[in-house]
Structure 1
């Protein structure tokens, strides 16, 4: 499993990126963030800091 950012709800705050222990979150167009699901270790740190709760676990 991994986590995914809903790009339609992301507010481009960047809070998720510095808390990722494996650095699998990168900035994409418009300042939004994307998670590399192949690298994600499913720790949930990013989801815990997202102020708009747009990060969720996917199967």
Structure 2
């Protein structure tokens, strides 16, 4: 992929600096489709959300 869909680029730019840098570096070295890029971004966002709220992953005892 030589260019990034503007919507995906905007989504990518909302990632934290370190994740964004790593993903941009990966994109520079690896051909990837828009669907795959969207999936990667969503996976990164999910991982970040899980790290920010670890209590959500705890079992409920109610």
TM-score, scaled relative to structure 2: 0.27
Q: Which has the higher strand share?
A: 1
Higher helix proportion, which one? 2
* TM-score calculated relative to the size of structure 1: 0.28
